[in-house]
Each structure stands twice: as C-alpha cells, then as structure tokens.
Structure 1
C-alpha cells in the first residue's frame, strides 16, 4: 500500500496536456487524472465530444450523427462507469435485433453463446433457405478461421469468395458493413469487419446487445468525464485551439504559453494533425497525408408528435436512407426522426433541401410515414471517419519522440493491431492506450 502511495505522490508532480476533447482525448485525460496526473485538456470547440457531440439547432438539442453502441464495447462502458455514468440510465439496452425493410429481421435469442448466434442466423426472417444457409456458412467459415484472414481483402471480394447471394448482401451485409465501417463494400476491409463480428455476434450473448443512447453524445460521456477530471485538479479549456507544440529543455510548450508540460497527448483527428506545428521533425505520421475519408450525413425530420416507428431503429435496403432512428423512444422527443446515410454516394450530389425531401419521400413510400414535416435539418460530417480499407497502415500511439503521444480511433494501439474501425470504442481504446503509455514513460 505504501508503494502505491509513493507512486501516486511521484505522479502528482507531473502535468500532461491533452489536445482535443473528443472521446479519445477525454478518455486519456480521465485515465491520467485517475492516476494522479495534473491534466489540462484543450478543446478548440465549445462542446466536448469531437465527431460525436451535441449540436444546438433552433432550440433543439441534437447530435452531429447517430452512433450505435453494442455490448462488446467494453472499453467505452468501463470508462463510463469509471467516471460515474450509470449505463442503465443513459442507454436503452435491448437484445440484438436488426430489422431491415423490406422484411428482413435477425434476432439472437437469450441463449448461451454460440447457440444464440446459430439459431439467430438459421431463423432470420426475410431470407430464403438458401440465403440462410449461405449466411450460416459464411459465419461458420469465419469462426473456424478464428476470424482471421490470411490476407486482408475488400468486403465485396470476401463476400464473393463466400458465395453470398445478392439478396442477402442487400439486406444484411451491405447495411451492416456501411454502419460498422462507414466505407463502401467495394473499398472496406474484410478483416476489420470480421473483427467487429468477432466481438459482437461471435462473442458472448450480451456482447451483441444494442445500446441506444438516451442522452446527447456530449452528455453521454465527455461532459461527465470532464467533471471527473476537474474534481481531481485537472482543467478543461473549451474554445482553446492549440496551433503550435514546442519541445524545450524543461518539457513541452503550447502556443508559446508560459506553462510547461511533461508530456503531450495529441488527440486531434488525423486530418487535423496537418495544421499542427510541432517543433520536433518527423514526429507526426507521414502516411496520414495519403489517407482518404468518408462522410456521414444525418437528416433530422420533425413529424407530428403522434408519429412513431415500429422499432427504435430500422434499416432500409437499396435506398438513399440507410438507418432510421426514432428519438421519441430514446430522447423523449416524439415525432423526431433521424436518418443516417453513411459513406460516399449519390446523395452527395444533392443540395441539403433536395436530400431532405428525397428522404421524406422514401420514408413515406417505404415506412408509410407522412409526406409533410414541420422541420428538417441536414448535418454533414464530410470527414467523419477514415476510409477503412484493406491493409491500412495505422500509426502507433507512441511516436519517435519521448513525451509526445497520439490518441484517436485511427491509431493502431500499443499492440500495433489497429483492429477496430473509426468507432467510439476505437477512440476510447486508443485514449486508454495512450494514457497507459504516458504513465509508464513518466514512471520510469
């Protein structure tokens, strides 16, 4: 016990700057604060959350996108518990059920793994028996190979190798891949998709549970984590953009400000790193300049308060709209529907009003929703995620310079795998890895 107290006392003498208040940055800061480090978080925006944050529009509290959490997101859920978030309050948790119109439904019964997956796949609705067996066969092949490919290929190529019928691809593989990787099948990494399936459908029964947030994405975790950090002597600076990071004899300096830090965790998005000036040459990953990115568009539609979907979340196959969320189930905003369109596509050629009207028409034709809405808004994240392509070389959290670390859903992590797509879980895992690396480095 005395040894632990001595370590904490030593760490209390250190200070670390975290650049970026998204899920990766706020996680790294919370981990460091819990270990006794004096942390300062610098966020350029007014709200925390990064690419998963609250947006105020004409008096409505919205999100800049819809992000689904699953039971397999153990990193996120453990960090939320650590900072004091009650998962039973902030999530609507339900056993996995994927409903994609027209007529497809995959639900895993409350049975021990892997029986829950086998029966769920075998009795999936909206598929012919040949399609069901093709789906079961593909999953069995992936499980038998321990979810590992000899060589990473695109999802479309993998589906072709597994002889997956086109109808099955349209109802299951297409919406699942785009939702998980935010990358078209023709470009998406099959290995990363298998990693997601390994931890969700291939994991424990509870790992495939769907957790629908009942709070905006800033209140869900980053805002509570910020309070956790401040209660431990840390600082959260909003609307504070860091443009320069300098290495001097005493430590690290930001924007030529007088405060000196013992280490820096850069949790800016990969495309944001290009604008950051760091005095240490070649410390930022060169390969990021060659990366491409994928958008996410969210169309908010306010119907009459009596309008309600059959489920909190519905998918649409072969349509402009991909996933439809009823925020009346989760956010007590009756009649407010959020429609998500992930990855690149023809929708990018439409003006915002044209896109909203096209989505309204689709929902009217496919889900029998009214043709009239009282309010509509389109929110576009043009570089919401990196394009998750086969064999993508991702940087480690640790850089070539001691005391300068990276955090973000784009990193490979300390193990060097980089096995998750650009998700909240990927961001949190990276933030935890960066914090653990800094703690080890400072304790040497």
Structure 2
C-alpha cells in the first residue's frame, strides 16, 4: 500500500461526490465509479427533445449549509440558484410569505400578514411552533405527524395548506406515517433558525450540472479519477493483504477504503462476499420506499405564474414550477407529486389530463400542449416513519463506509442529507488515516 490513502467511491451522486471532494481536500487519492453515463445518481438529468429535465424537481433551502459549502468549494457561482424568501402560495386559497426581517420576526410577521388564513388558523400555527420550541424540538415519543398536529389542535385548513404540504415535500412520506420527530428537525432548522435558513433556492441548472459535473471537473483538475459507465459488480477483500478490490475496476487497483454511495437497494449485491456486512444488509432491507412523480409539460407559449413555485390542492398535483422563470425554455412547467397516493392508481395518460385540468383551474387558459414527460421514481426516498433506525456511516467491515441520504441522521432523505453523509464518510476516513481537510472554510 502507498502512504497516500487510496479510496474508491462507488456512486456518482451528491453523496459520492461530497465524499470525494472531502477526501481530496485531505490528501487522499480518489477514484469514483458511476455505473451510468450521467452523473447525479437519483438526482440527475434526463434528455427530452434536447432539453435537460431533472428526474425530479428539487428545491434547496438556505438551511442546506453543507450543500451550499460544497457548491462553493467546486466553483459553482451563487447566481445559479434563484433565491427567494419562503412563499407558500396557493392561488385563490392561501398566501404565506416570510417577511424581510431577522428571525423569528420574519415568520411571525409573515404569519400575521398571511392571506387566506383566519385568526384561528394563525393562532394554531403559533401554538404548535411555541410547543416545539418549549420542548427544544424533541417529540417524545416519536409518532406520526398527523398525531402531532391533532395533539396541538391544528385547524383543517392549516393542515391541508401548510403542514401536510410541507411534511410531504420534506419527508416524502404521508402525514399519517411520517415521523413527527424528523419533521420537527426540519421546522427547527428552516423556520426558526436565521431568516435566510428558510429562503428557497431554486436551481437554474439541472441537477447533474448543479454539483456532480462541476465536482467531477474539480477532481480531474487535481489528478483524481472519475469513471462513468463502469458499473462495480462487487467489493472484494484483497487476497494477499489488507484492502479491497472492485469487480468491475479495469485497473484492478487495491484500495485502502471504499465508500458505498449508491442507493440503499444496491448495497446488498456489492457486499455479498463480506459476511460482516450481513447485519447492515438486513437493516437496509427493512427500509420501505416512497415514490416521487414529476410531470414535465411543455406548452406552445408563455404560462403566467404568480410565483416560480406555487401549490395546488384538492387534486393530484402538489407543487408547480415555472421553469421559464428559472432559465428554462418558454412554456416549460413541472408538476411534482410526492409520496404514495391516489395518483398511483391511474394511467399516465389520465394523470396528464387531470394535471392539465388542475393547472387550468389555477392559472387560467393554457397554450396548446406541445409534449409531456412523466417521470416516476418508484423508490425515490426511504419512508421516513417514527422510530426508524437507519444504518450508520461506519460499518462492521473495516475500511468500508456508507454514504447516502438514507444513512442515519436527524434529517429526511434530501440533497442536504446526502451531502452531509458524504462529508461525514470522507472526514471519518481522513481521521482514521491521520489526515484532515486543508483550507477548511
């Protein structure tokens, strides 16, 4: 083995590249393997008529501190993110915007000025936030979000227009099954931290170009290797000493450490030859998954939006994005449906018709539809349920680490949790090797 730690990373998504950048900054030698030709993992670009479409429309929050730090490190300019104060806008129903004031006034004044909510709604929302602050955002015992909302006497309108949409968007799990404790962490770090923490950051680039592609360039410029379209079939112990070999590595290199940064359901076949990993595989196997559906609709002409992101209620669609306002072509609209629900019981053609009717009811007459693309990620995230025990970064197999949005943390499966998991894996390896990141910001 060389004195410089040789680290393989399996998976070219946000977790894998965050681990790679962290390791490279600490002096390790990194080789990253991605089975697809497209970087980004489950947050990636799909081509349609020469237009790059995200496989699922994402937003970032100002509270995504590690994601924003990673973007800065690899040279991504802040202008690629459209920054807007939190605005929950349901045309004709409700409008809640945070005020341009320091926390907690930004939320308090925003709530006082909210349209479509009466005093009963506003008092109920304030009551829940006070209750969570009193308990330091601990929910004991953990229970479904629906139970937490019932316990604090939230109104039907508030649940339908504020809490349920926020929960489903953040945890990708229906309120009847979602963890109240994890939801409390989300509210703590987004609504009660600094005013900028609740800002919505809407990417002007597709999800591959936002971070994985610039991170790949950053690594290549520093002598590290990113190999695409080269799937790793298995991780094997080196027969003649310490370290690992990868079935699928054309160089047949020996690595001191390996970070598995794939989706959780790809872990088992990779570690089949490593008996110590059996408990981890069993734990991962207990995770349930929830889908995300994104309907991309391209119209022959401009579509007028009151905000780049609006909410819909009473139908299948949940959030609608004006991609034209975010640097996309004129007339491109994205409709997102998170978690499991009634939309899974109808055909794509019927869903498209229903979404067009819902959009017209909210936005008025629409231009003719040129084309559509409905993208379904059946296992987009794990189901974030009460008391869920998630696998840790450190595994029983020395030198083998996990990274991904499903790895144990306070947060649900988001880009931020994926990035944080990669950073933790990278720093854990550096610490094990007696190294640390240089020029730590």
Q: What CA deviation, in whole Å up to 9, does each residue of 1:289-321 have, x standing for no partner?
A: 121100000001111222221210000122210
Which of 370, 373, 376 in structure 2 is aligned with 1:377? Answer: 373
The equivalent of 2:282 in structure 1 is 286
Paired with 1:304 and 1:142, the residues of 2 have a C-alpha distance of: 47
The equivalent of 2:263 in structure 1 is 269
2:254 corresponds to 1:260? yes
2:318 corresponds to 1:322? yes
Which of 414, 417, 428 in structure 2 is aligned with 1:426? Answer: 417
Work out whether residues 297 and 334 of structure 2, in 8 Å CA contact, stay in contact via their aligned partners in 1. yes
Paired with 2:3 and 2:323, the residues of 1 have a C-alpha distance of: 43
Q: Which runs of structure 2 are paired with 1:10-409 in the superposition (5 Å)?
A: 13-87=4-78, 89-248=79-238, 249-255=241-247, 257=249, 258-283=252-277, 284-370=280-366, 372-409=368-405
Superposed displacement of residue 86, structure 1: 1.1
Paired with 2:254 and 2:400, the residues of 1 have a C-alpha distance of: 13
After TM superposition, the structure 1 stretch with the greater mean CA deviation from structure 2, 326-335 or 249-258, is 249-258
> Secondary structure, in 3 states, of the residue corresponding to 1:200?
helix
Superposed displacement of residue 11, structure 1: 8.8
Superposed displacement of residue 388, structure 1: 0.4
> Secondary structure, in 3 states, of the residue corresponding to 1:176?
helix
Paired with 1:302 and 1:178, the residues of 2 have a C-alpha distance of: 26
Superposed displacement of residue 60, structure 1: 1.6
Unaligned runs of 5+ in 2: 436-441
Superposed displacement of residue 367, structure 1: 2.2
Q: TM (normalized to structure 2)?
A: 0.94
Q: Over aligned residues, Cα RMSD in angstroms?
A: 1.5
Paired with 2:98 and 2:48, the residues of 1 have a C-alpha distance of: 38
After TM superposition, the structure 1 stretch with the greater mean CA deviation from structure 2, 12-21 or 194-203, is 12-21
Superposed displacement of residue 371, structure 1: 6.9
Q: How many residues align?
A: 429
Work out whether residues 175 and 317 of structure 1, in 8 Å CA contact, stay in contact via their aligned partners in 2. no
Superposed displacement of residue 52, structure 1: 0.8
Paired with 1:420 and 1:55, the residues of 2 have a C-alpha distance of: 27
Unaligned runs of 5+ in 1: 1-9, 413-417
Work out whether residues 268 and 281 of structure 2, in 8 Å CA contact, stay in contact via their aligned partners in 1. no
Work out whether residues 94 and 211 of structure 1, in 8 Å CA contact, stay in contact via their aligned partners in 2. yes
Q: TM (normalized to structure 1)?
A: 0.94
> Secondary structure, in 3 states, of the residue corresponding to 1:421?
coil
The equivalent of 1:3 in structure 2 is none
